[in-house]
Amino acid sequence: MTNFQKTFAEAVLKKQANRVGIDRADLAIVGYRPLDKYGVLASFAYTPSVGRITDRDLSQYVAAYIGNYHPITETLKFSEATGTFSVVISQYREARRLGDKEKMLPVIAGITYMDKTLGDMWNVQSGHNGEKHLVRISGEDINTILAERINRLRANNVNTVQHKACAALLTPNVTNLLIGDVIKFFLNGELLAGDITAFGEGTTVIVKPEGAEHTLAVDNQSILDIIQRSPNKGRMDSEELINYYANAYGNEEYARELVLGPDSNMATASTLNNNPYNTNPYSTGKKKD
């Protein structure tokens, strides 16, 4: 990009930011990773010389461009050297006590109910503590909304380094999971932590949330971080891990490089290009769906 093109792009972004009422014209959403139907892990780029992004800056951006969603700021993870960060963005969820279903029309008994006055649909769901409640069914799909927003809002001043850094921020931290690892994850619109008690089918792990007596099946896409490593030495062997990550990413070559490590600088570049979360449009790697 020439200096003229960069200056012109910055002017357009500033004008757009002023129109929608946000302070940081340099802030741009770059990519995202679905966590569940209620939220995503999103990556952003910004200009560090303008200053660090504040909670207010981020909330302004999400409200203006994404809508009825909010950032969970305790999940913020910055890479200041590259001017990028990631954060969980979640849908606002309206909940009611389970007893309210008695005033509603059953659609699917024990599962779905309709508010007779407003016509809203409500599902029975269990929280992480096992207690059941009603959650309003939203017709919005955050994945569809973000795909459209990114296509429309992606800034021309997001450089190749930032695209690669954002890809790294979105890559699940699930390498060499152990039974006994304490993980942070996002499930059914809630940010939770718990111990891995077993490996489930496909790409899931069985987790006992903190303070709970029951367990949950958590897909590795929903895992945000490994909080504490287990002292347990019972790791899966290499082939089991390769199969696990190949199922997760749909790419056996990338899975092998994750487990066995790169053999050279060329292999490292291959791993980056094959990363399914690499949002760099100029990547020479294979494009992921």
Q: Which of 152, 207, 190 is nearest to 29 (CA)?
A: 152
Helix axes 238-249, 252-260, angle to 10 degrees: 140
Q: What single-letter amino acid sits at 52?
A: R
Secondary structure class of 273 (helix, strand, coil):
helix
Query: Over its length of 289 residues, how does the chain's per-residue pLDDT go in tens digits?
Result: 455 444 444 444 454 454 444 778 889 899 999 998 788 999 999 999 988 899 999 999 988 888 778 899 999 999 989 999 999 998 877 778 888 888 888 888 888 888 888 787 877 877 655 677 787 766 667 777 777 777 776 655 688 899 999 999 998 877 778 889 999 999 888 899 999 999 888 889 999 998 888 899 999 999 999 999 887 655 556 677 777 777 777 788 877 877 776 652 333 334 444 455 544 443 334 444 4
**What does the H/E/C string look like for 175-223?**
CCCCCCCEEEEEECCEEEEEEEEEECCCCEEEEEECCCCCCEEEEHHHE
Rg (CA), the chain: 21
d(CA 195, CA 205): 10
For residues 269 and 262, give the distance between their C-alpha atoms in angstroms, rounded to a whole number: 9
